[in-house]
Amino acid sequence: MPIKEHLDIVLGNSTYLDDIKLNNMAYLHVIRSPYARARILKIEEPGTKALLFLTAKTIGNLLMPAMTVPNAKIVRMPVLPANTVNFVGQPVAAVITESRYSLEDIADEVSIEYEPLKPIITIDEALKNEEIIHPEIGTNISLDTTLEGGDINALKEADVVVEREIEQARLVANPMEPKAVLFITTMTNSL
110-120 confidence digits (pLDDT tens): 999 999 999 99
Listing DSSP states for 53-93 in one string gives: EE-HHHH-S-B------TT----PPBSS-SSEE-STT-EEE
- Domain parsing of the chain, residue ranges: 23-140
Q: What is the mean pLDDT of residues 95-119?
A: 92
Per-residue CA distances from 52 to 45, 89, 92, 103 (Å):
10, 21, 14, 11
> What homologous superfamily is domain 23-140 in, according to CATH?
Aldehyde oxidase/xanthine dehydrogenase, a/b hammerhead (3.90.1170.50)
**Average model confidence (pLDDT) across the chain:** 86
The pTM of this model reads 0.76
pLDDT band, very low/low/confident/very high, at 1 (cuts 50, 70, 90): low
Over pLDDT 70: what percentage of the chain? Answer: 90
Q: Given this model, what pLDDT does residue 53 score? A: 94
> With bands split at pLDDT 50, 70 and 90, how would you rate the model's confidence at 190?
low
